[in-house]
């Protein structure tokens, strides 16, 4: 089921919409009566692969400037 939500309402009630998407509700997010994007849960049958796992590099996180300088 696809529902329509305004961008302002989405920002103000993000937790509610995240829960709903997790339960299977799709949303089309509108701004000034024009569709911006669609929110939906990922399809279960898709195979997701890890491209890079930053958790093994540094426990507290990785500084983006350091990371980009090494690329």
Q: pLDDT tens across 9-50, in order?
A: 999 999 999 999 989 899 999 999 999 999 998 877 667 777
**54: Cβ contacts below 8 Å, ≥ 6 apart:** 61, 62
Structural domains of the chain sorted by starting position, each given as residue range(s) with its CATH number in brackets: 1-41 (3.40.1620.10)
Distance CA 5, CA 29 (A): 5
Q: Is 63 exposed, middle or buried (0-12, 13-18, 19+ CB in 10 A)?
A: exposed
pLDDT digits (tens, 9 = 90+) for 44-67: 766 777 777 776 777 767 777 877
pTM: 0.60
């Amino acid at each position: 089921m696809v529902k329509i939500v305004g961008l302002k309402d989405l920002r103000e009630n993000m937790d509610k919409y995240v829960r709903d998407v997790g339960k299977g509700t799709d949303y089309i997010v509108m701004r000034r009566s024009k569709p911006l994007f669609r929110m939906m849960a990922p399809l279960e049958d898709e195979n997701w692969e890890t491209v890079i796992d930053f958790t093994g590099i540094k426990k507290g996180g990785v500084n983006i400037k350091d990371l980009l300088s090494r690329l």
